[in-house]
Structure 1
């Protein structure tokens, strides 16, 4: 069965974006990733690079982890504000929104249905894993469906912002097994955790 993987950058104090929800690695963001960080992404997770970045870096690799990306309306709006209607044209791109009545891009699917039920259907289908790119509210709504966490931990603290699972995730402890880690020059660490079998969300 396909896995839902929350592959996300986070500060040391657990925030995936500043208080305004803006992209921390985008223009004017608070984190400028190192060259080694970008190289690691290009080599190990090329499908997670946005289309414009792939073009600028000459990345053409399809990637081995994901063939589908899901995100919330707020996360999608960050790209729209920059004039990018489909940041991941090389993936099936699904945006969960009850306010967008039609897609700004023919290759982006707008889904108003329950995210958890939709992801459950996706998991039963064929293909590679499903990438949850953000934002925090959607991650909170999908908390019980996340099978793997890949946290790109930045060597920064910001004090306040959007938490890893938003502010409305189900409460209660969830146990995870550390199944991989990679330390990047510049201080970032890629941490991979798999949900322990039988652990509720």
Structure 2
């Protein structure tokens, strides 16, 4: 049982860091093919102009992502006491990693932000607590994760990633619930 938890945590971390690494390219990687014209059906959320209203900067600089989501906030997340979320020091991407979720604050600049919200893999969601939101789903073998990114400024966003545990079909629903909690804390 403990080995399964270690593997799941490693999978979440690998997916989060893998997605983050894709955002660091100058547009020549796999994600670079999805420009502003691609996205989810041309909705206004996918095309920009969402909740950020053109704000720039990094208002979340210095914020501990572990303060944005606790497992108890979403009952479907692992509630085991021995798997408390921990802060990972990733330059430019402070990340809080729990057993079956991760919260990442990304301040990689306008190009990285644009790729996150306009890639061909990003599916536009309705705004969450006033933040433009997109969702991406990744399947690697039997592992499945779902990430919801929330717009903060034109250069900064928060990504909430949930890895499938006992109910893979509900992964994206759980990720949306977790993103609602995070968005509520961002707005307060």
TM-score, normalised by the number of residues in structure 1: 0.25
TM-score, normalised by the number of residues in structure 2: 0.26
Greater relative CO (CA pairs within 8 A, separation 6+): 1
Q: Which has the higher helix share?
A: 2
Pick the structure with greater CA Rg. 1
